[in-house]
């Protein structure tokens, strides 16, 4: 009798743990990869409560016109102060059930899954902050590194040799090693947007993977993983029609493929409203020049007219969070 009551208590405790919504602790760290210092943004579940004395998380986001010119047209422009814009972006939780705080105090009650988030070309580690915050509030540790293709120019990518060059894979290798020593990591999943979907699909491991606005098909690395593909028919960079064909092929090859298609969103609708607002504010004056030079705009021109990040987040993020929660339990 007592044994049954104990088992019932433990099962209820486990259920409460699994369904708990945590406040989120945000930590900014720097990762040394070879001779390069790479910024990391880390979100984790915390028992710390929001109060008048607590400090809401602030994200130090930046945009470099020089870096954009170098990556898009190979033009090595000098860096002048007016070509670099810095923003202090406050955290903006998707709903009121949790707060995002400057805090490294993690809820240590059980091992935690880790989700590695990969931004796209001319993106940043803060592109998917709403996804990261919500995933952390559901009990995951989330890490978003700044990759070499970032528009933030947070580190120099003019390496003197191939030996010094830092790749996305090398950054993720180092990040996982570092996080394993700091957190009680139970399993690892991957979330990527646009160019970041390449690493998401090709990094070794059997953990769940979610690709947003970019999918070329299953890979040998992802063949045993649960997979969620998110795409939109209005995406002019990675058209939904192409991705639908790749999803159909993937579904025929694997029973572990899910998809979420929209008819409404463009390529950068999936990014946070805050980072998109920063781009619109700083880069819109350059839009006529970019169009005249026929520079790829990655749907920036479309987004600046519709500004639908929040609408996209409300539709997409709950599905992504549920996918990872269900997959990590599997």
Any domain includes 4? no
Residue 40 near residue 31, CB atoms below 8 Å: yes
Provide the domain limits for residue 92. 49-156+165-329
The predicted pLDDT at position 182 comes to 87
Residue 114 near residue 143, CB atoms below 8 Å: yes
Task: Give the angle 105-24-141 at the CA atoms, nearest 5°.
Answer: 75
Please give the tally of structural domains in the chain: 1
The predicted pLDDT at position 312 comes to 98
The predicted pLDDT at position 32 comes to 97
CATH of the domain at 119: 3.40.50.1820
The predicted pLDDT at position 321 comes to 98
Residues 6+ apart with CB under 8 A from 92: 129, 130, 272, 273, 274
Any domain includes 123? yes
Residue 215 near residue 230, CB atoms below 8 Å: no
Any domain includes 301? yes
Any domain includes 2? no
Any domain includes 290? yes
The predicted pLDDT at position 105 comes to 81
Task: Give the angle 31-71-69 at the CA atoms, nearest 5°.
Answer: 120
SS3 per-residue string spanning the chain: CHHHHHHHHHHHHHHHHHHCCCEEEEEEEEEEECCEEEEEEEEEEECCCCCCCCCECEEEEEEEHHHHHHHHHCCCCCCCHHHEEEEEEECCCCCCCCCEEECCCCCCCCCEEEEEEECCCCCCCCCCHHHHHHHHHCCCEEEEECCCCCCCCCCCCCCCCCCCCCCHHHHHHHHHHHHHHHCCEEEEEEEEECCHHHHHHHCCCCCCEEEECCCCCCCCCCCCCCEEEEEECCCCCCCHHHHHHHHHHHHHHCCCEEEEEECCCCCCCCCCHHHHHHHHHHHHHHHHHHHHCCCCCCCHHHHHHHCCHHHHHHHHHHHHHHHHHHHHHC
Any domain includes 6? no
Residue 235 near residue 266, CB atoms below 8 Å: yes
Any domain includes 8? no
The predicted pLDDT at position 51 comes to 80
pLDDT tens across the length of the chain (330 residues): 544 444 444 444 444 444 578 999 999 999 999 999 999 999 999 998 888 667 899 999 999 999 999 998 887 777 777 899 999 999 989 888 999 999 878 877 689 999 999 999 999 999 999 999 999 999 999 999 999 999 999 999 999 999 999 999 999 999 999 999 889 999 999 999 999 999 999 999 999 999 999 999 999 999 999 999 999 999 999 999 999 999 999 999 999 999 999 999 999 999 999 999 999 999 999 999 999 988 889 999 999 999 999 999 999 999 999 999 999 985
Any domain includes 9? no
Residue 126 near residue 61, CB atoms below 8 Å: yes
Residue with token string 């509030």: 137
- Give the residue among 231, 11, 46, 206 at the shortest CA–CA distance from 140: 46
């Amino acid at each position: 009798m007592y044994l049954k009551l104990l088992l019932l208590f433990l099962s209820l405790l486990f259920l409460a743990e699994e369904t708990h919504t945590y406040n989120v602790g945000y930590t900014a760290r720097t990762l040394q990869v070879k001779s390069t210092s790479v910024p990391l943004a880390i979100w984790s579940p915390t028992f710390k409560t929001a109060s008048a004395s607590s400090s809401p998380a602030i994200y130090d986001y930046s945009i470099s016109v020089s870096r954009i010119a170098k990556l898009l047209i190979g033009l090595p422009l000098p860096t002048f102060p007016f070509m670099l814009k810095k923003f202090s972006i406050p955290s903006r939780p998707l709903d009121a059930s949790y707060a995002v705080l400057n805090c490294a105090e993690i809820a240590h009650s059980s091992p935690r899954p880790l989700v590695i988030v990969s931004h796209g070309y001319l993106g940043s580690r803060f592109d998917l902050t709403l996804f990261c915050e919500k995933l952390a509030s559901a009990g995951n540790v989330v890490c978003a590194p700044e990759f070499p293709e970032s528009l933030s120019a947070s580190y120099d990518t003019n390496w003197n040799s191939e030996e010094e060059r830092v790749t996305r894979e090398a950054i993720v290798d180092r990040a996982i090693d570092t996080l394993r020593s700091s957190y009680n990591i139970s399993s690892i999943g991957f979330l990527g947007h646009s160019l970041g979907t390449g690493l998401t699909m090709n990094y070794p491991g059997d953990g769940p993977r979610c690709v947003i606005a970019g999918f070329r098909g299953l890979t040998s690395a992802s063949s045993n993983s649960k997979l969620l593909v998110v795409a939109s028919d209005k995406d002019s960079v990675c058209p939904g029609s192409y991705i639908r064909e790749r999803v159909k092929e993937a579904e025929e090859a694997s029973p572990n493929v899910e998809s979420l298609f929209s008819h409404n969103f463009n390529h950068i609708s999936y990014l946070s409203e805050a980072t998109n607002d920063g781009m619109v504010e700083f880069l819109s004056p350059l839009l006529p020049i970019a169009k005249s030079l026929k520079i790829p705009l990655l749907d920036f021109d479309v987004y600046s007219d519709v500004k639908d990040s929040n609408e996209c987040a409300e539709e997409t993020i709950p599905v992504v969070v549920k996918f990872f929660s269900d997959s990590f339990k599997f």
